[in-house]
């Protein structure tokens, strides 16, 4: 790759693409130009694909410099760590545990943060350090605190930040606790998702301040919430766009294997059979999963695919007491369902789907979230219209 090609396929090309799609605002352009992504991406990466939670094979910078460079300047997420660093092989681990987020998402969330000169910002999830560098450039090192739970990632990020000339406060620890040492903050931004907003973030944000965080139910579906903190210590606001972040480590759910639900018996074990007219294919899209997840708590889906394109949709509860299966085959108008345990999980999913359908299939932009000391409530259209 020539120097010109590198520049073309590099920071300039990405800045143009992000300006064109509206993610990179005029306010953030100087920071974006001053803090190129390649200074923060490690030498060993698993490039992702835009809009998909799938990674390509490992790329090592010294072996494939052009592939590495092209991946860094593509508008896509890049996995930088698997399985909390316990997987170090050449393939892929089980769960991506750190990444450089998709540039469109980075810029969109920074826009939602709506910072002004002098604002103090707390970031949860330092990752590569790129976002912390963008914030430090815009607001000054003294106004930025970034917390990372993974010791190795935090150490590497700190080194990269220093090499690029930035010295925000970098903290190693559980971001769920925030960082009271520098509170109150005007803004809190999380770059990992939560199923419940840590109350420490609200307590450490001044009234009128804003929290931008990806939020998603256990079931699936996720969107960025933009919450304003009120004088009474509650936080409320709309969801502003779909997202797919890795979960805050301390809020991951433990997912038991199907075998444990069947208790040594073969499927369908003690499951009771019924049929449904609702296609399992109609409940798998991200926005409908979110709506279902809000109404079907503590449960999660898993798809078991077959070679002919059919599949079984498994539903399981996190308590390990209930499961359901729904079999999908193309061209059918009736689908076989088995359910076992105190919760009738397919019935719950179907009821939630009908609720969503009757409200004209709302997207993320019609939902919002209110958090107080005791509860978290997702609402539809207005804060008093609960989606219980
Ligand atoms: C998507 S990455 C962050 C991207 C980062 N902001 C950047 O600019 O590269 C999510 C990060 O959140 C971190 N994380 C997960 N749980 C955390 C927790 N409880 N406290 C702090 N950081 C956490 C992960 O280790 C991971 O590095």
pLDDT 10s digits, 144-156: 999 999 999 999 9
Residue 101 is a catalytic residue: yes
Instruction: Tell me how long the chain is.
Output: 388
- Report if residue 363 sits inside a domain: no
What confidence score (pLDDT) does residue 384 get? Answer: 87
Contacts of 269 (CB under 8 A, 6+ apart): 262, 263, 340
- 266 with 337, same domain? yes
Average per-residue pLDDT for the chain: 95
- 354 with 277, same domain? yes
Dihedral (CA of 263, 265, 271, 277) sign: positive
Place of tokens 């990674």: 55
Q: Enumerate residues lining ligand 1, CB below 6 A.
A: 97-101, 124-125, 127-128, 130-131, 147-150, 153, 174-176, 191-192, 245-246, 248-250
- 180 with 309, same domain? no
What contacts 24+ positions apart, CB below 8 Å, involve 383-388?
383/236, 387/291, 387/294, 387/295, 387/355, 388/295
CA angle 241, 228, 288 (to 5 degrees): 30
- 81 with 123, same domain? yes
What confidence score (pLDDT) does residue 53 get? Answer: 61
* Residue 52 clears pLDDT 60, i.e. is over it: no
* Residue 26 clears pLDDT 90, i.e. is over it: yes
Write out the residue range of the structural domain in which residue 283 sits: 258-358
Task: Give the C-alpha separation, 304 to 316, whole Å.
Answer: 13
- Report if residue 156 sits inside a domain: yes
* Residue 341 clears pLDDT 70, i.e. is over it: yes
Angle between helices 103-113 and 11-20 (to 10 degrees): 60
Task: List the catalytic residue out of 98, 99, 100, 101.
Answer: 101
Choose one of 242, 266, 297: the last residue of a domain. Answer: 242
- Name the burial class of residue 54, with classes exposed (0-12), middle (13-18) and buried (19+) by CB atoms within 10 angstroms of its CB: exposed
- Report if residue 384 sits inside a domain: no
- Report if residue 373 sits inside a domain: no
CA–centroid distance, residue 248 to ligand 1 (Å):
7
Our count of domains for the chain comes to: 2
Task: Give the C-alpha separation, 173 to 198, whole Å.
Answer: 14
* Residue 43 clears pLDDT 70, i.e. is over it: yes
- 225 with 301, same domain? no
Asked whether the bond before 24 is cis by omega within 30 degrees of 0, the reply is: no
- Report if residue 172 sits inside a domain: yes
* Residue 6 clears pLDDT 90, i.e. is over it: no
What confidence score (pLDDT) does residue 51 get? Answer: 58
- Report if residue 21 sits inside a domain: yes
Closest-CA residue, ligand 1 atom 4, reads 127
Answer yes or no: are the C-beta atoms of 195 and 252 closer than 8 Å.
no
- 265 with 206, same domain? no
Residue to substitute in 108, 125, 193 for testing ligand 1 pocket (most ligand atoms within 8 angstroms of CB)? 125
CA–centroid distance, residue 147 to ligand 1 (Å):
8
């Amino acid at each position: 790759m020539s120097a010109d090609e590198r520049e073309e396929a590099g920071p300039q090309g990405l800045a143009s693409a992000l300006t064109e799609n509206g993610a990179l605002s005029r306010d953030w352009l100087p920071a974006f130009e001053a803090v190129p992504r390649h200074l923060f991406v490690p030498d060993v990466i698993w490039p992702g694909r835009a809009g998909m939670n799938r990674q390509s094979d490992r790329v090592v910078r010294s072996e494939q410099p052009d592939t590495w460079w092209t991946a860094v300047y593509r508008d896509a997420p890049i996995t930088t760590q698997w399985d909390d660093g316990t997987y170090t092989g050449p393939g892929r681990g089980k769960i991506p545990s750190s990444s450089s987020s998709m540039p469109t998402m980075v810029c969109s969330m920074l826009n939602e943060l709506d910072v002004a000169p002098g604002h103090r910002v707390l970031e949860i999830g330092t990752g590569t350090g790129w976002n912390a560098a963008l914030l430090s450039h815009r607001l000054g090192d003294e106004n930025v605190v970034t917390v990372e739970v993974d010791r190795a990632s935090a150490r590497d990020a700190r080194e990269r930040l220093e090499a690029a000339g930035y010295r925000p406060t970098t903290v190693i620890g559980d971001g769920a606790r925030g960082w009271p040492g520098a509170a109150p903050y005007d803004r809190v931004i999380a770059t990992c998702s939560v199923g419940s907003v840590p109350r420490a973030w609200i307590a450490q944000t001044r009234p009128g301040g804003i929290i931008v965080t990806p939020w998603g139910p256990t079931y699936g579906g996720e969107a960025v919430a933009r919450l304003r903190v009120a004088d009474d210590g509650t936080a409320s606001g709309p969801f502003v766009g779909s997202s797919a972040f890795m979960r805050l480590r301390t809020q991951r759910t433990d997912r038991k294997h199907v075998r444990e639900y069947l208790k040594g018996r073969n499927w369908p074990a003690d499951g009771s059979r019924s049929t449904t007219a609702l296609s399992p294919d109609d409940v798998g899209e991200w926005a409908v999963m979110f709506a279902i997840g809000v109404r079907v708590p503590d449960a999660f889906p898993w798809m078991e695919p077959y070679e002919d394109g059919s599949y079984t949709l498994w539903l399981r509860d996190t308590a390990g007491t209930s499961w359901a299966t729904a079999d999908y085959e193309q061209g059918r108008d009736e689908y076989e369902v088995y359910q076992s345990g105190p919760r009738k999980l397919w019935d719950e999913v179907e009821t939630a789907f009908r609720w969503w359908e009757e409200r004209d299939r709302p997207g993320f932009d019609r939902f919002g979230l209110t958090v107080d000391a005791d509860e978290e409530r997702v609402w539809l259209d207005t804060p008093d219209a609960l989606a219980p």
